[in-house]
Homo-oligomer: A and B are copies of this chain.
Amino acid sequence: MVVNASIIFNEVPHGAPVPGKTLKRVEEELDVATVDLEGGLLVKMKAVSLDPYLRGRMRASSKASYNQAFALGKVIDTLGVGIVERSDHPDFPKGAILKGLLPYSEYALLSKARLDMKLAKVVEKPDGIAWTTMVGACGMPSATAWIGLYEIGRIKKGDTIFISAASGAVGQIAGQLAKREGLTVIGSAGSDEKVAFLKEIGYDHAFNYKTTSTQDFLEQHPPSVVFENVGGETLDAVLATIQNNGRIIHCGSVSQYNLPPDQQYGLKNTSNVVTKRLRWEGFIVSNHDWTEFDKTMPKLVANGEIKFKEHVTKGIDNGEAFLDMLEGRNFGKAVVSLE
Residues 246-280 of chain A, each 1 if its beta carbon lies under 8 Å from chain B, else 0: 00001111001100010011111111111111111
Chain B residues near A266 (CB-CB < 8 A) = 265-268
User: Contact between B287 and A277 (Cβ–Cβ < 8 Å)?
Assistant: yes
A284 part of interface (Cβ distance < 8 Å): yes
Chain B residues near A268 (CB-CB < 8 A) = 261, 264-267
Copy tally for this chain in the complex stands at 2
Chain B residues near A244 (CB-CB < 8 A) = 66
A166 part of interface (Cβ distance < 8 Å): no
A128 to B122, CA, bound (A): 71
Chain B residues near A336 (CB-CB < 8 A) = none
Chain B residues near A66 (CB-CB < 8 A) = 244, 275-277
User: Contact between B271 and A278 (Cβ–Cβ < 8 Å)?
Assistant: no
A43 part of interface (Cβ distance < 8 Å): no
Q: Give min CB distance, A103 to chain B, whole Å.
A: 24
Chain B residues near A277 (CB-CB < 8 A) = 66, 281-284, 287
A231 part of interface (Cβ distance < 8 Å): yes
Q: Give min CB distance, A287 to chain B, whole Å.
A: 7
A73 part of interface (Cβ distance < 8 Å): no
Contact sample, A vs B, 19 pairs, CB 8 Å cutoff:
A56-B275, A66-B244, A235-B270, A253-B270, A253-B274, A261-B268, A264-B268, A265-B268, A266-B266, A266-B267, A267-B268, A274-B282, A274-B284, A275-B282, A276-B282, A277-B283, A278-B282, A279-B281, A280-B280
